[in-house]
Amino acid sequence: MNKEKRHEIFRRLQAINPKPTTELEYSNPFELLVAVILSAQATDVGVNKATRRLFKVANTPKKLLALGEDGLKEYIKTIGLFNTKAKNLIKTARILEEKYNGEVPRDRDALESLPGVGRKTANVVLNTAFGEPTIAVDTHIFRVSNRTGLAKGKTPLAVEKKLLKVVPEKFKKDAHHWLILHGRYVCKARTPNCAECVIRDLCDYKEKTDQPKRNTSGSSNKTAVSDASQNAKKKNTTTKNTSKPVKTPD
């Protein structure tokens, strides 16, 4: 795929969703970090149901430590691997309190040193909380990148490095959100909705489907992507992009 096609892909994705964001609900960097850790092998919908209750009582490292591991489990027990996640979150909260004065660090190495935080989670936090042009490659982005020919690779890291190399600079900050939403609502794993895909003619996928696949609400997938992003914007408080770590309130 040449650079002209790649530019046009992102131009079209931007046109239908100018300001994309995560579907995880959060109001500060620590809430986002917690939500992303909980989202491993879980759905955003399931995580949001749990964190809506959790964040009312514990939305800072100090408050989470006061809640304790057993108390935390009561709020996240509906999420897969909740025992391990609770243990990691308490350890992470303690490190943030003791080492970073309750702040979420704006540094990859510091983030990846936290229990339960890998490269993908660090990328999401750096991009969504701090506005860094990182691209977290999850199963949706891995599939879309390989299927379309946008950035082929055998591993998530290989795809990430390729995307960082080929995505035009003007689109890099929002590329993660556009690709994940496209994979979630249009370029699905089992039944890609090629008939309603805005980048169908630019895609290298040879087994395109012809019949439109409607979502359960009856609206088009193009609308579903836009609606999902708009709903997320209404629920989330945008964190300002500053060069310093953002202090989470006690």
So which residues are the catalytic ones?
120, 138
Widest Cα–Cα separation across the chain: 56
Cα separation, 101 vs 48, whole angstroms: 26
Q: Cα(48)–Cα(71) distance, rounded to whole angstroms?
A: 18
E-strand ranges in the chain read 103-104, 246-247
Give residue 116's Cα distance to chain centre: 16
For 126, phi then psi, to 5°, come to: -60, -40
Segment (H or E) for 163:
helix 156-166
Tokens of 221: 């997938």
